[in-house]
Amino acid sequence: MTPPLLQVDDLHVRFPISGGGLLGKGRRMLHAVNGISFSLAKGECLSIVGESGCGKSTTALSILGLQEPTEGTIRYRGQPLAGPGAPGRMQRAKAVQMVFQDPYASLNPRQSVRSSLAAPLRLHGVTAGSEIEGRIEAMLKNVGLTPEHATRYPHEFSGGQRQRIGIARALILEPEIVVLDEPVSALDVSIRAQIINLLLDLQEKLGLSYLMISHDLSVVEHMSDRVLVMYFGQIVEEGGWRAIFETPAHPYTRRLIAAIPDPNAALSPPAKEDRHTADRPQLAAHSFVSDGSRAPDVFTAPPSSKLVEIALNHKVRLAATLSD
Amino acid sequence: MRLGFNFWLGAGLTALVIFAGVLAPWIAPFDPVLDADLMSSELPPDATFWFGTDAQGRDVYTRILFGAQISLTVGIVSQVINSIIGVTLGMTAGYWGGWWDDLVNGLTNVMLAIPSLIFALAVMAVLGPGLPSLLVALGLTNWSWTCRIARSSTLSLKSQGYVQAAQTLGYGDLRIMFTQILPNMMGPILVMATLGMGSAVLSEAALSFLGLGIQPPFPSWGSMLTDARQLIQLAPWVAIFPGLAIFLSVLGFNLLGDGLRDSLDPHMRTRSP
């Protein structure tokens, strides 16, 4: 069996918190990510959703090599991507790239579009001027800009155009995995759909795999094949987007989904049974370790629990004692 | 970008000093050293000797023009050295952090705690008087503020998306510092260097006044003041004109630096339309 494109196993990230006594006595650890495991298949869009501080960005940074994991393994095509035997920045760059949330902070104001796209190509051994020009031109067309835009500087573009440049930069080295960190949340609502459609087109055209970090569930619902729901460093529920959005099992997931504004709610009479309660797998409230209504202590490891498959490819985290 | 009156006044005064220094060999009416004539010593300003003559009968105006060369050289070269040291230390400290950051911070604090003129005096005492040691002394003693500013700018720029993007694109640390971070903090560094030029000119004058800088008979504004000490009541112009030259050039550099800061700092741009 060929290994999956990206395989994350039991990823832990802990940050030391300074404080306590002298000489680092009583130093506490902040448990940011507590044993995340998932895999990403080729051509798939996997979304990680959860509130701020739940560890979703830390997970992404670990995959990008910007944050060293405390424990666990990250494998790309079976080869380690973190820890001992990990590739350097240069090799990693061709595997994983990132599209940033804020298009205003993610482009160097002193670099023209051409130079911010040409520099990585040159760094990775593309030296022929004509090839660089050709690839920049093709990439700008891919993201819906014109070759004439190449000579301009970031301040000459709108937010949506800047995000297109950010996407072009992420794709210029032809990576297989693209991490999308809230790719549209900083954009004007009227631009969001364009960028989402662009991302979906590019995914199909270039065979990309997306790992999307988001708390905007309407975007997640539109783009993802599978969804991971994270809560304080753990996956509390995972499944296909349909399972998560139509039959959410974990109380935290249900609350997230209930919080999506429904534009039809005011127009249509209340349904007898809303979609979030229909066909809900019957699980007693006490079987969950936490229902997400009370913030757990981030300085201690979470109580033992495990992911249990309640339907095909649909898993929910339950207290360890009850699930045995 | 709108530049205020202060900027233009500073730029004008700075241009005047540069003009005087660069063109001194052509526009000076006399030789600053050889045209000594004890018969015409301590003459008040007149049509021939615009700023009068000193105790050796040398033309003060000529000596001020040539003194501008020294002040400019000292101001520019020492600030280039300061900026290179300060930016290199501050940027690497901010970017890498850890023990290197602690070390650089400690060093900066030590440098800030020692009065820079006293430190420069000590360096001069070791190296001996003269222009090269003056440049080294002033270049090694004034980088702490530049270092602080470079470090704090790096800390804030490091979290920008484009720096993270450069990391994920495979850029090495030094490449990131020089292509992504340095160009974006040139504004404040340039302002610091311009302001530092004023203080370097003052330090040069002070060291030369104390006899550690430029050695007689070559003219420097500071050493001209030393010579004028005994004459201040008999021939006040021998002291007044070098003093004015120091005052106006330092004012010029400071106004230029202030003006640059105002125009480069977006927070100060509220008045512009």
- For residue B252, what are the CA distances in angstroms to A310, B15, B268? 77, 9, 21
Neighbours of B50 (CB within 10 A): 15
pLDDT of the residue at B237: 85
Q: DSSP code of B194?
A: H
Weakest mean pLDDT among A64-68, A136-140, B44-48, B162-166: B44-48
- Which residues 86-145 of A have a C-beta within 8 angstroms of B? 88-90, 92-94, 96-98, 100-102, 105-111, 116, 119-120, 123-124
Comparing A138 with A308, which gets the higher pLDDT? A138
Instruction: Work out the percent of chain A whose per-residue pLDDT is above 70.
Output: 85
pLDDT of the residue at A321: 57
pLDDT of the residue at B269: 46
- DSSP one-letter string for A246-271: HS--SHHHHHHHHTS--TTTTTSPPP
Q: Provide, as residue numbers in chain B, all residues whose Cβ is less than 8 Å from the Cβ of A97.
A: 168-169
Beta bridge partners of A45: A210
Average pLDDT over residues A47-70: 88
Comparing A116 with A292, which gets the higher pLDDT? A116
> Element (H or E) spanning B116, and its range?
helix B116-127
Label residue B215 by pLDDT band (50, 70, 90): confident
d(CA B129, CA A270) in angstroms, rounded, equals 91
Label residue A82 by pLDDT band (50, 70, 90): confident
Q: Provide, as residue numbers in chain B, all residues whose Cβ is less than 8 Å from the Cβ of A65.
A: 167-168
Say if the Cβ atoms of A66 and B164 lie within 8 Å: yes
d(CA B252, CA B12) in angstroms, rounded, equals 7
Strands A234-240, A71-76: parallel, antiparallel or unpaired by DSSP? unpaired
- Coil, strand or helix at A16: strand
pLDDT of the residue at A66: 86
Interface predicted TM-score (ipTM) of this complex, two decimals: 0.82
Q: Token digits for B245? A: 């030259």
d(CA B236, CA B230) in angstroms, rounded, equals 10
Q: Which residue has the tokens 């009479």?
A: A269
The per-residue pLDDT of chain A, averaged, comes to 84
Instruction: Work out the percent of chain B whose per-residue pLDDT is above 90.
Output: 36
Angle, vertex CA B191, rays to CA B188 and CA B196, nearest 5: 125
Weakest mean pLDDT among A131-145, B130-144, B252-266: B252-266
Question: Which chain A residue has its CA at the smallest distance from B184's CA?
Answer: A110
Instruction: Tell me the Cα Rg of chain B.
Output: 22
pLDDT of the residue at B29: 81
Comparing CA positions, the residue from A184, A187, A112 lying closest to residue A151 is: A112
- pLDDT at residue B272 tops 50: no
Listed in sequence order, the DSSP H helices in B28-97 are 60-96
Say if the Cβ atoms of A173 and B179 lie within 8 Å: no
Q: DSSP code of B182?
A: G
Q: DSSP code of B53?
A: B
Q: What are the b/e assignments for A75-100, b being 16+ CB within 10 Å?
A: bbeeeebbeeebbebeebbebbbbbb
